Chain A
Amino acid sequence: MADHPKTDLVPYLRGELAPADRARVARHLEGCPECREDAAALHGLIETLGRSVPPPPAIHWGRWRAELTARRDARRGRHAWWWRPVPLALSASLAGALLVLVVLGGPGTPTGNDLAVVEQTLLGRRLELLRQLSVVERLELLEDLDIIRQLDRLAAASEG
Chain B
Amino acid sequence: MENSDEALCRRVAERDEAAFDLLVERYRERAWRLAWSILRDAEAARDVSQDAFIRLYEAAGSFAGRARFSTWFYRLLVNRCLDHRRRNRWWRLWARDEGEAPGGETLLERQPAPAYDPGDALSREQAVSALWAAVDRLPPRQRAVVTLQAQEELSTAEIADVLKCSQATVRVHLHRALKTLRRTLEKR
Interface residues of A (CB under 8 A from B): 6-11, 14, 16, 41-42, 45-46, 48-50, 52-57, 59, 61, 64-65, 67-68, 71-72, 75
Total contacts A-B at CB 8 Å: 83
Contact (A50, B175) CB under 8 Å given A67-B50, A72-B57: no
Q: Give the top 4 A-B pairs by smallest Cβ distance, nearest first.
A: A49-B150, A56-B36, A7-B171, A52-B128
List chain A residues, Cβ under 8 A from B157: 16
- Check B78 for interface membership: any CB of A closer than 8 A: no
Interface of B is mostly: helix
Q: How far is the CA of A16 from the CA of B181 in the complex (A)?
A: 22
Given contacts A45-B185, A57-B42, contact A11 B131 (CB under 8 A): no
Interface magnitude class on chain B: 35 or more
C-alpha spacing A82/B132, complex, angstroms = 47
B44 lies within 8 A of chain A by Cβ: no
CB distance from B127 to the nearest CB of A (A): 8
Asked if B181 and A45 sit within 8 Å, CB to CB, the answer is yes
- Decide if A59 touches B32 in the complex (CB within 8 Å): yes
Contact with A along B1-38 (1 / 0, CB 8 A): 00000000000000000000000100010001100110
Contact across chains for B178 and A64 when beta carbons are under 8 A apart: no
Look across to chain A and name the residue whose beta carbon is closest to the beta carbon of B167.
A11
A65/B24 contact (C-beta < 8 A), A7-B171, A10-B178, A56-B45 known:
yes
A7:B46 contact, CB within 8 angstroms:
no
Contact residues in A for B150 (Cβ distance below 8 Å) = 46, 49-50, 53
Task: Tell me the complex Cα distance, A72–B42, Å.
Answer: 20
